[in-house]
Homo-oligomer: A and B are copies of this chain.
Amino acid sequence: MLKNIDLTREVPKADYKELKGEADLKLAALQRQCKALGIPVIVVFEGWSAAGKGTLINEMILPLDPRGFSVYSTRNPTEEDMFYPFLWRFWKRTPIRGRMAIFDRSWNRRTVTDRVAGLIKGDRLRQAFDDIRSFERQLTDEGVVIVKCFLHISKSEQKRRFDALQSSPATAWRVTKEDLRQHDQYREYLAATEDMLTETDADYAPWTIVEAHDRRFATLKIFNTVIDALERKVASVERKSEAPALPSPEPASASALFSTTALDRVDLSISLTPEEYAARLKKAQAALRELEHEIYLRRIPVVIAYEGWDAAGKGGNIRRLTQNLDPRGYEVVPVAAPNDIEKTHHYLWRFWAQMPKDGHITIFDRSWYGRVLVERVEGFCTEAQWRRAYREINGMEQHLAHYGAVVLKFWLHIDPDEQLRRFREREGMIHKQWKMTDEDWRNREKIDQYREAVEEMLHRTSTPYAPWTIVESNCKRYARVKVLETVCKAIRKRIG
């Protein structure tokens, strides 16, 4: 979940004041509503040392009624804590109904800090994840709202902040040995954190990654995340206590401002000359042909899913991927709307039926991600269903990975201008007119909603065992080579 996070995001000072003022009022009002409705709230702050947890917690509590919350700072367990299971000290601090508990670091320390320090691994690490999931689920099942924020900064930003603190005797003491150790082992911490985020991200207690280079942006994103979670909970509690059932509140459009923006940073100007293309394509295709034999011998299945904007070039890209392959070793599965039989099954069933067997490659042209894209945007499934789907899809891909499969997902990205150009071009060419439907134009009108869905999908389902690759596709040549080379690299890595 930390891949493709744009740490340069910021909010201008001019906008900040107004937005913050509004957020303050909203948060204070929601605190009162939660108190009245007896909703307990837990807000967890995790993140790098010097990411600004202390400052941001201070910002958050300022508008709150001080009688309604507690802040708990989780450092090394005390001697007493060490006498109990690691969740004990957090159970003791779970909030009563209507109260808010804010944790500066939390139970996730166990699976990150302790893991990097070599204190926990293997079976015990998996037990800790089980214990954490069970704990969070026990709380949310009984009505607790859990908001989890991870404050993210880069290694160089962390260095800059440590240097600034150390340059003055007044603040130098704030940089501890543990902080410096974390800095030296940034890579190890990053890998452990990524694992922790993946293992404990759930519809009932989702993670929000907060881009924390700019304090104003981070503040607003945290406010927005807490407000969004509380608004949804308040609405659901009120709906249950009132009859008749009310429809969901209007979608939280404001939250789109703070959703992740992996797509914004994609450099679509990137391209290949025809000569470069010809050379690299040939080389990668030959390599993949050899790897195809290798995975057959080693009985490794490979699952490749293509998603992307209409007219992003999926078809042509897939053709280049398979052009040189032995046709007995792969299959391309085009995915359209489910047919009548498929509709009567679980939505993942039809994909299971098409998974590759050992030693084979299956390429899905569109995939199970339709659940969180078209079905979400068009309202073909309920909000609860698509929110749950991230966990379900991760579960399915993890099962494949447990088995030893290589699982790769490509998002073919183009900008709206390029899309329009291609639509027009298609309409102008008789042999391509069949490719254009009214639906393509309709989808284009909903581009903002699709973009929000794509961002959340890339964010919640990019896992160590099944990563997303965003493919810059304004230049089709570049896109084709990138996919081919990425597939080769992943297979080589799996073979070891």
Binding site for B on A (CB under 8 A): 38, 40, 80, 82-88, 91-92, 94, 96-98, 122-124, 126-128, 130-131, 134-135, 137-139, 141-142, 144, 243-245, 299, 301, 341, 344-349, 352-353, 355, 357-359, 385, 388, 392, 395-396, 398-400, 402-403, 405
Partner of A141, one of B128, B134, B142, B388: B388
Q: If the complex has contacts A348-B138, A392-B141, are A84 and B126 also in contact, measured as CB distance less than 8 A?
A: no
Q: Judge whether A96 and B345 touch: CB under 8 Å.
A: yes
Q: Judge whether B402 and A127 touch: CB under 8 Å.
A: yes
Partner of A403, one of B85, B398, B400: B85
From residue A204, how far is it (CB to closest CB) to chain B in Å?
A: 12
A83: nearest chain-B partner, CB-CB? B357
Q: How far is the CA of A345 from the CA of B144 in the complex (A)?
A: 10
From residue A42, how far is it (CB to closest CB) to chain B in Å?
A: 11
Q: If the complex has contacts A83-B299, A341-B96, are A144 and B346 also in contact, measured as CB distance less than 8 A?
A: yes
Q: Judge whether A85 and B123 touch: CB under 8 Å.
A: no
26 A-B contacts (beta carbon < 8 Å): A83-B299, A83-B357, A83-B358, A83-B359, A84-B358, A84-B403, A85-B402, A85-B403, A87-B399, A88-B355, A91-B349, A91-B353, A94-B349, A96-B344, A97-B345, A122-B122, A122-B123, A123-B123, A128-B402, A130-B398, A131-B398, A131-B402, A138-B396, A141-B392, A142-B385, A144-B346
A89: nearest chain-B partner, CB-CB? B352
From residue A94, how far is it (CB to closest CB) to chain B in Å?
A: 6
Q: How far is the CA of A396 from the CA of B388 in the complex (A)?
A: 24
Known: A83-B358, A84-B358, A135-B395. 19 other contacts (CB 8 A): A38-B344, A83-B357, A84-B357, A86-B403, A88-B355, A92-B352, A92-B353, A96-B345, A97-B345, A127-B402, A131-B398, A134-B392, A134-B395, A134-B398, A138-B396, A141-B392, A144-B346, A243-B244, A244-B244
Q: How far is the CA of A139 from the CA of B348 in the complex (A)?
A: 10
Complex contacts, A399 vs chain B, CB 8 Å: 85, 87, 131, 134-135
Report the 4 A-B pairs with minimum CB-CB distance, sorted nearest first. A83-B357, A91-B352, A134-B395, A96-B344
Q: Judge whether A88 and B352 touch: CB under 8 Å.
A: yes
Complex contacts, A142 vs chain B, CB 8 Å: 346-347, 385
Q: Judge whether B352 and A138 touch: CB under 8 Å.
A: no
From residue A238, how far is it (CB to closest CB) to chain B in Å?
A: 16
Q: How far is the CA of A359 from the CA of B141 in the complex (A)?
A: 32
Partner of A400, one of B85, B97, B346, B392: B85
A244: nearest chain-B partner, CB-CB? B243
A405: nearest chain-B partner, CB-CB? B85
Q: How far is the CA of A357 from the CA of B128 in the complex (A)?
A: 19
A91: nearest chain-B partner, CB-CB? B352
Partner of A395, one of B124, B138, B352: B138
Q: Judge whether B139 and A346 touch: CB under 8 Å.
A: yes
Q: How far is the CA of A353 from the CA of B94 in the complex (A)?
A: 11
Complex contacts, A344 vs chain B, CB 8 Å: 38, 96-98
Complex contacts, A141 vs chain B, CB 8 Å: 388, 392
Complex contacts, A144 vs chain B, CB 8 Å: 346
Complex contacts, A92 vs chain B, CB 8 Å: 349, 352-353
A127: nearest chain-B partner, CB-CB? B402
Complex contacts, A138 vs chain B, CB 8 Å: 346, 348, 392, 395-396
Q: Judge whether B91 and A357 touch: CB under 8 Å.
A: no
Complex contacts, A139 vs chain B, CB 8 Å: 346
A388: nearest chain-B partner, CB-CB? B141
From residue A405, how far is it (CB to closest CB) to chain B in Å?
A: 7
From residue A369, how far is it (CB to closest CB) to chain B in Å?
A: 16
Complex contacts, A85 vs chain B, CB 8 Å: 355, 399-400, 402-403, 405
From residue A340, how far is it (CB to closest CB) to chain B in Å?
A: 10
Q: How far is the CA of A359 from the CA of B392 in the complex (A)?
A: 41
Complex contacts, A301 vs chain B, CB 8 Å: 83-84
From residue A319, how far is it (CB to closest CB) to chain B in Å?
A: 26
Q: How far is the CA of A128 from the CA of B399 in the complex (A)?
A: 8
Q: How far is the CA of A202 from the CA of B461 in the complex (A)?
A: 26
Q: How far is the CA of A398 from the CA of B84 in the complex (A)?
A: 14
Most buried by B among A122, A127, A135, A402: A402
Q: How far is the CA of A84 from the CA of B123 in the complex (A)?
A: 25
A84: nearest chain-B partner, CB-CB? B357
A243: nearest chain-B partner, CB-CB? B244
Q: How far is the CA of A350 from the CA of B481 in the complex (A)?
A: 60
Most buried by B among A84, A86, A122, A301: A84
